[in-house]
Amino acid sequence: MREATEPIRLTRDRPTWLIYLQLGTFATYLYGLSAAVPLLRADERTSATVAGLHGTAMALATIAAGLALPYLTNRYGRRASTWLGVAGMNAGVVLVVFSSSLPLTLLGYAVSGGFGSLMLYAAMAALSDHHGPAGAAAISEANAVGVVIGSSVTFLISAMAGTALGWRAALLVTPLLTVAVAAALGRVWTSAPATPPEPAHGSARRPGWRFHVSGAVLCCCVALEFSFNLWAVSLLAAQTGLSLATAATGLSAMIAGMAAGRFAGARLALRVPHTRLFAGALAVAAAGWLIFWSATDPLLGYAGLALSGLGISLHFPLALSAMIGNSGGRPDLAAAASPMWAGAAMAVGPFVLGALADGFGTRAAFLLVPVLIGLAVGGVLTARTRS
């Protein structure tokens, strides 16, 4: 239990803002390339299945990043690994901007996805170490900053699509923001060692079962979020009669809920026990899903998506914090395992939901969401860190 006389505080120093803004650049890549998939499909004249390979490329590269991260952080340290990830992520984005053939855009998605994951998970481990007991709050707030910055790219893509420059020019926000962050804070880093220390002799041990259950919870949460990202628009259109173009604005409601939830969650994480907060966030997502799944009125559908986003907002930060907390004092082990769980979820979750939609319809397929939530709740309660 937390002592009332020793409140946990989150101090936002220059290293904190560096990582926050690095995550903002990551979000511009993630939201930008996600929104670009249907536009690439039109440009490259491919089927929906082939266009979906861009997401598969990102997922597989994320798993590869998890395999490479231990070597890179031990050999070069978190700071170098983070900036290497930023550089590679930008290289992949630039390749997509200036390429028009399917093999090159697939390569661009894979490169940006793999290197972006290197940056994300190395930076989150450093942020957690830097803030200690306030690490979960810092991770939540960092993701909130990312959502706010990244969501602007989707609107910019729409605005640029009708201009002479074209929608691809909007993706250049990522390298431009990277240059600005590097110029302003490139020499800053956290107080943690540049290279994470090896465990003392005799203290190294295999992670306990709670660590692996926490990874499975992360997998459920990522699969849940990506399933909403890829399929909620189709269900909203089918149930309310909206066109797909109009229904796509439903994701804006979800993103708004995520932004609000992550900023609020950063404060709640300083006051509410981790397990209670995580279970509550999953319950909010379940309530939002039920409203959305049942809605035949557009406004009710938007409300359900906003409430779902409010709950989903805390899933990734809290799941990652749980993996770090259950790693036995080895946050870099959690940083390496997390992208493998997340990559598997990105590859499998939306695919399973899509297969169910083909067989039983999108509405029936969306029953997968409460199943994922139920599994996550069970994992959270089972793998809670004992104080």
Q: Where in the chain are the domains? A: 10-192, 207-387
- Asked if residue 270 lies in contact with residue 10, where contact means CB atoms within 8 angstroms, the answer is yes
Residue-level pLDDT at 190:
83
Average pLDDT over residues 160-185: 92
Length of the chain counted residue by residue: 387
Q: How far apart are CA 157 and CA 94, in angstroms?
A: 15
Domain at 10-192: CATH code: 1.20.1250.20
Share of the chain above pLDDT 70, in %: 92
The whole-number pLDDT of residue 100 equals: 84
pLDDT value of residue 202: 46
Query: CB–CB of 286/178 below 8 Å?
Result: no
Q: From its phi and psi, is residue 100 left (phi > 0), alpha (psi between -120 and 50) or beta?
A: alpha
8 Å CB contact between 84 and 182: no
201 has a pLDDT exceeding 70 = no
The model's confidence at residue 7, banded by pLDDT at 50, 70 and 90, is low
Intra-chain end-to-end CA distance of the chain, in Å: 7
Amino acid type, 332: D
pLDDT tens string 327-354? 887 877 888 888 889 888 887 876 777 7
Q: Which has the minimum average pLDDT: 77-86, 246-255, 288-297?
A: 246-255
Q: For residues 138 and 80, what is the distance between their CA atoms, to the nearest angstrom?
A: 21
> How many Cβ atoms are within 10 Å of 133's Cβ, its own excluded?
13
Residue 2 has pLDDT above 60, yes or no: no
| Stretch among 43-52, 88-97, 115-124, 173-182 having the lowest mean pLDDT | 43-52
pLDDT of residue 207: 73
Predicted local confidence at residue 385, as pLDDT: 56
The answer to whether residue 4 scores a pLDDT higher than 60 is no
Q: Which residues, 6 or more positions from 93, have their beta carbon under 8 angstroms from its beta carbon?
A: 29, 32, 33, 108, 112, 171, 172, 174, 175
- Structure-block tokens of residue 121: 């998970």
Which class does domain 207-387 fall in? mainly alpha
pLDDT value of residue 59? 87
> Is there a contact between 301 and 374 (Cβ–Cβ < 8 Å)?
no
> Could you report the per-residue pLDDT of 265-312, keeping only the tens digit for each?
878 888 888 899 999 999 999 999 999 999 999 999 999 999 999 999
Count of CA atoms in the C-beta half-sphere (13 A) of 327: 22
State the SS3 of the chain.
Answer: CCCCCCCCCCCCCHHHHHHHHHHHHHHHHHHHHHHHHHHHHHHHCCCHHHHCHHHHHHHHHHHHHHHHHHHHHHHHHHHHHHHHHHHHHHHHHHHHHCCCCHHHHHHHHHHHHHHHHHHHHHHHHHHHHHHHHHHHHHHHHHHHHHHHHHHHHHHHHHHHHCCCCCHHHHHHHHHHHHHHHHHHHCCCCCCCCCCCCCCCCCCCCCCCHHHHHHHHHHHHHHHHHHHHHHHHHHHHHHHHCCCHHHHCCHHHHHHHHHHHHHHHHHHHCCCCCHHHHHHHHHHHHHHHHHHHHHCCCHHHHHHHHHHHHHHHCCHHHHHHHHHHHCCCCCHHHHHHHHHHHHHHHHHHHHHHHHHHHHHHCHHHHCCHHHHHHHHHHHHHHHCCCCC
AA letter at 286: A
What is the pTM for the complete model shown?
A: 0.79
Q: What are 103-122's pLDDT values in tens digits?
A: 999 999 999 999 999 999 89
**How deeply is 303 buried, as exposed, middle or buried, from its count of CB atoms within 10 A (0-12, 13-18, 19+)?**
middle
Tokens of 128: 């957690």
